[in-house]
Chains A and B, each alone.
Chain A
Amino acid sequence: MMLAAVVLTACGTREDHGAWREQLFQGSTDAADAPSFQLDDVRVPDRLRGIAAAGPDGEEIRIACDTCHGLLDVELSRRGPERLQSQVGGPHVGLAFEHGPLDCAHCHDAAAPHQLRTADARTLPTTEAIELCSQCHGLQWRDFQHGAHGGMRGHWDRAAGPRERNHCVDCHDPHAPAFQRYRPLPPPVDRFAPIPPHRNGPVDHGAPTRHEAAPEPSEDGS
């Protein structure tokens, strides 16, 4: 390194400011292709196992999709989302649907809506929704597999302990997946927190659209 610096100076070339990054990996082997991803680490949120409803004593209970759809013969037509809300009946009333140009049958099996249907016409239980999501959201799926999308808890060193990862639907409501705006946690009251020299432009003080804080892995139904 010393020598390189001397040579570079002697030649009058400027030091390569990025060269130091190479040294970060010194003493390690080349990257293997296999990501260390393990599907078992991913939570299976309750909302994938049924719908939340008020129980006899007012407490929240979860009703499996099969409870109704195993008996009822509900056939999904290819309906546009704007007509959807008034027509989806029973416990699904009020379901907000804002998932691009899709309609129910893009993700649910039209003949058995308690099951999912992939683009290549396989049926999946709702608990395996990740496979369905990743068919369209390939970039997110790639990042997710490499630990670069979605919250996690536990260990970086898999030999030292387990890891739990959020499922897509922990943060994204599949029927209205856009991330909402949140009220942030309070700033420091440290007297040395830098005050910006200028605040550019007005800020929107409107109320956060949905949550007061960012989502925890939630157990609420849909």
Chain B
Amino acid sequence: MNGVTRRRLLKGAGATLGALAFAKAVEPVLDFTSELSGDEFLQRHYRELSPEDMREVLARLEAETKEKYGAEVTIRDIRPQEGVQFGYALNLSLCIGCRRCAEACHVENNHDRKTHQSYIRVLEMQQGSIDMEHGDATYDHPVPQPGRYYMPVQCQQCDNAPCVKVCPVEATWKEQDGIVVVDYNWCIGCRYCEAACPYHARRFNWEAPEISAEEINPNQSYLSNRIRPQGVVEKCTFCLHRTRTGALPACLEACPTGARVFGNLLDPNSEIRWVLENKRVFVLKEELGARPRFFYFFDV
């Protein structure tokens, strides 16, 4: 790994101060965050974990979920498939703004119930404009409204992702299948990435998510929908715990209109390829050069 990592920072501090002094220095941190176990504090970066480390980490996280939330969950570490590059497209002529997708994401990804959080914001747009900054995410009237259209926005899984570049500790990166992920245990919560994302796709956990044991989705993965700790950033992962096993994302399954098209960009017979080759697709804010994997189109 290049750059300054959290580990190296800590090591550096340790070398300067001497090991004892360093231990003394971090003690208040450990005291203060009683939530944070010593194991967790010393956990290595996702990409440096050996298979045994990973097994231990997953077991610890499962036990913690049991303890804090009273729920039996299975947390897996699901890796990308060879020969798969994910892409997503959305037909703005079909979308009716019903927010079913946002709701499905809320449930699937164990979001905080109180804030009704979701990785998707459905923007109500004025016809004639595609400037998402002028969209309204808080509409609450029958849809579709005359003269409006609806543009759901979630993480665009950019190939040239600004959020990845600004992270000072490399807690977020792009995986081989195109999905941008966050190691919630490595994230220091500085929120640089949230500020860097042109699509407002990242969310910050101001508080630990509140969710009752019965409502927790027990099918979890380390890099996606496990319950996030307080003080870290999270985002849409194209439901990698589903999609890396061949299933469709939760938001697509919930969409009643079929506005959403998902698949493998490398499969010439996939639906997503047909859309990219036969519809006039565009990406949001293309001029920024972030190269999104998420495409929009209108029927013409």
Contacts and interface: CB of A to CB of B under 8 A. Distances in A.
B255 interface: yes
A31 B273 contact: yes
28 contacts: A20-B159, A24-B87, A24-B159, A35-B269, A35-B274, A144-B258, A148-B279, A150-B257, A152-B252, A154-B247, A154-B253, A155-B246, A160-B246, A161-B246, A184-B97, A184-B122, A184-B139, A185-B99, A185-B102, A186-B116, A189-B115, A193-B137, A194-B137, A195-B138, A196-B136, A203-B141, A214-B96, A214-B256
Contacts of B258: 144, 147-152, 166
Contacts, number: 192
B143 A184 contact: yes
Interface of A: 17-18, 20-21, 24-25, 27-32, 34-36, 139, 143-144, 146-157, 159-161, 163, 166, 171, 179, 181-191, 193-201, 203-208, 213-216
Interface string B112-135: 001111100110001000000111
A153 B248 contact: yes
A190 B141 contact: no
Nearest to B106: A188
Contact of B140 (A36, A149, A150, A187): A187
Interface in B140-174: 140-147, 159-160
A182 B114 CA distance: 24
Interface of B: 83, 85, 87, 89, 91, 94, 96-100, 102-103, 114-118, 121-122, 126, 133-147, 159-160, 200, 203, 243, 245-248, 252-253, 255-258, 261-271, 273-279, 286-287, 289, 291, 293, 299
B96 A148 contact: no
Contacts of B143: 181-184
Contacts of A207: 142
A159 B142 contact: no
Contacts of B203: 190
Contact of A199 (B94, B99, B136, B253): B136
Interface of chain B, main secondary structure: loop
A188 B274 contact: no
B145 A189 contact: no
Contacts of B159: 20, 24
Contacts of A151: 253, 255-258
Contacts of A187: 99, 116, 137-140
Interface centre among A181, A197, A206 (most CB of B within 10 A): A181
A185 B152 CA distance: 13
Contacts of A159: 246
A187 B253 CA distance: 19
A27 B266 contact: yes
Contacts of B270: 36, 156
A175 to B, nearest CB: 19
B203 to A, nearest CB: 8
A155 B247 contact: yes
A-B complex: 6 closest residue pairs judged by Cβ atoms: A160-B246, A147-B271, A157-B246, A28-B266, A150-B258, A185-B99
B126 A146 contact: no
Nearest to A27: B266
B241 to A, nearest CB: 14
A31 B263 CA distance: 14
Contact of B85 (A24, A146, A184, A196): A24
A142 B238 CA distance: 26
A214 B98 contact: yes
A172 to B, nearest CB: 11
A184 B100 CA distance: 8
A35 B121 CA distance: 32
Contacts of B261: 147-148
Contacts of B99: 184-187
B256 A171 contact: yes
B217 to A, nearest CB: 16
Nearest to B86: A156
A185 B246 contact: no
B126 to A, nearest CB: 5
A154 B275 contact: no
Contacts of B268: 28-32
